[in-house]
Structure 1
Amino acid sequence: MELTLKKRKKNSIIPGFPLTLGYTMLYLSIIVLLPLSMVFFNTVSMSWSEFYETVSHPRAVASYKLSLGTAAAAGVINVIFGTIIAWVLVRYQFPGKRIVDGLVDLPFALPTAVAGIALTTLYAPNGWIGQFFDFKISFTPLGIIIALTFIGLPFVVRTVQPVLQNLSSEVEEASASLGASRFQTFTKVIFPELLPAIITGFSLAFARALGEYGSVVFIAGNMPMKTEITPFIIMTKLEQYDYVGATAIATVMLVTSFVLLFIINLIQWVTNKKFNQQ
């Protein structure tokens, strides 16, 4: 025990482990835990029947399905195309590469309301892109997926990109020299290295999409039972001064998000453990 403490003290760059740990826990408690706990405290004031009636209302249930489904779909799309974009930015040199690399971060800097208005303008039935399709994009779940894909793309690209930069192209050349095909090289050499970063990027994009409001509320149309997302229902209840009802629905989303992220992180931990044992 004493040897462990000495080793920790020796390897620590910032002195005062108890002090820094205490500051970390205090900071996280004030910034994260305290606001989240207030959601549960407000919900406790409801009776179980009132809580169940609020969170199981058909409009609320429909919004849960829509929010979870579109967030998951956008996360999967971002995993596929975000990984491809990261690969292109790392492995190839082409004119305007720095500009393309900077455009990836644009959803971070662009206000979400501006993004929502821009996407609605593009994909509306009379919009620049929407007019060329026989089916509607705006005011449908497809439009919501597009908006969530837009705001979640940087999370996947920026988590996969550093891993690809550390993965030398010589590894691929060695695999090819040993007789492996391109598919075998990707599945046996590249993909296992990228998988932890891909899972992390998906979890970040999924979490962001699940609670997104500004970029979705315009393109969704907010039609009850069809395109009404859960954050919009929460905002509606807040505008009606139904704070308890809003926190009840927020509690369901909070618990659901925590369980899903816990499962994703568990999968990532198991994947890392298997990879390290190989």
Structure 2
Amino acid sequence: MSQFRFRSPSALPGFGIAYGFTWIWLSVIVLIPLGAVVLWAASLGPAQIYAIASRPQTFAALRLSFGLSLAAAALNAVFGLIVAWVLTRYSFPGRRLLDAAVDLPFALPTAVAGIALAAIYAPNGWVGSLVPFRIAYTPLGIFVALVFIGLPFVVRTLQPVLADVDRELEEASATLGARRATTVFRIVLPTLVPPLLTGFALAFARAVGEYGSVIFIAGNIPGVSEIAPLLIITRLEQFDYAGATAVATIMLALSFVVLLIVNLTEAWTRRRLGRG
């Protein structure tokens, strides 16, 4: 065992206590509750879990939740990068106000955000009355809500990395005659891929389990605009604990697979950049 190194040398003592406390706290808060859900679902048997998952209403809710969450996280990755770039690289009047506005989805209670979005995008709302199609009470309204709550995760993940990007590399690239687009796509953006993937994963994880800001704008029509978290709540209210547990376990498994893929891609990107 002396050949294994579990930590890097540190001037601060207490690794053993901190390491043990970390596992105890993580187990109490995360591992034990999730393990209980998985064990309860496992007692149902694979056949019953598959029967619950293959129901049209369940399949539609899972497809809607995960599909829109991935789409919202992808859109936030693009526009979150632009917002983080503007806030980090430029000075302009109102910059601090814009920077503070990014954190509004963090500060607002989810129910308040949902009511505000529903009022704005309803057919008689400020925005809903100006467009020729319906936004609120449709899957598009859910997408808007998920983009709203996920944007800060991407922006706040990218900002410190952008602030630490070595400007000398950009200056050297310009000195060698590279165009601005070449500098951005060949020098700057490759270093931002790992934090961008991290922000994408955080935005997706928040969106897939979002409830409060979605139910007010979703319409909650089974098979059309019903999200998976709402389906779980409905099952619990109907005392269908087996169905609620099965749906929760399926969501947990799918979320784990998506986040694992993102984390593996991020690790591969970091290794590739390190070799480069």
TM-score (norm 2): 0.96
Deviation for aligned residue 1:204: 0.4
Deviation for aligned residue 1:107: 0.5
Q: Distance in 2 between matches of 1:115 and 1:7?
A: 43
- RMSD across aligned positions (CA): 1.7
Aligned to 2:32: 34
Aligned to 1:177: 175
Q: Distance in 2 between matches of 1:159 and 1:48?
A: 39
Aligned to 2:126: 128
- Correspondences of 1:12-91 after superposition (within 5 Å): 12-91=10-89
Aligned to 1:106: 104
Deviation for aligned residue 1:44: 2.6
Q: Paired residue for 2:149, among 140, 148, 151?
A: 151
- Taking a change above 3 Å as real, the CA distance of residues 6 and 126 of structure 1, as seen in their structure-2 partners, is closer
Q: Distance in 1 between matches of 2:231 and 2:107?
A: 26
What do residues 45-68 of structure 1 show as CA deviations (whole Å, max 9, x unaligned)?
324332222121101101111111
Aligned letter for 1:146?
V
Q: Paired residue for 1:222, among 220, 224, 231?
A: 220
Q: Distance in 2 between matches of 1:168 and 1:117?
A: 43
Q: Distance in 2 between matches of 1:5 and 1:66?
A: 45
Aligned letter for 1:77?
L
- Taking a change above 3 Å as real, the CA distance of residues 7 and 83 of structure 1, as seen in their structure-2 partners, is closer
- Taking a change above 3 Å as real, the CA distance of residues 120 and 2 of structure 1, as seen in their structure-2 partners, is same
Identity %: 53
Q: Report the 3-state secondary structure (helix = DSSP H, G, I; strand = E; otherwise coil) of the residue aligned with 1:38.
A: helix
- Taking a change above 3 Å as real, the CA distance of residues 244 and 172 of structure 1, as seen in their structure-2 partners, is same
TM-score (norm 1): 0.95
Gap runs ≥5 in structure 2: none
How many residues of Structure 1 are paired with residues of Structure 2 in the alignment?
Answer: 276
Aligned to 1:168: 166
What do residues 227-248 of structure 1 show as CA deviations (whole Å, max 9, x unaligned)?
1110110010111121221010
Aligned letter for 1:145?
F
Q: Distance in 2 between matches of 1:66 and 1:103?
A: 28
Q: Report the 3-state secondary structure (helix = DSSP H, G, I; strand = E; otherwise coil) of the residue aligned with 1:131.
A: coil
Deviation for aligned residue 1:97: 1.2
- Taking a change above 3 Å as real, the CA distance of residues 76 and 5 of structure 1, as seen in their structure-2 partners, is closer
Bigger fraction of residues in helix = 1
Deviation for aligned residue 1:176: 1.4
Q: Distance in 2 between matches of 1:99 and 1:125?
A: 30
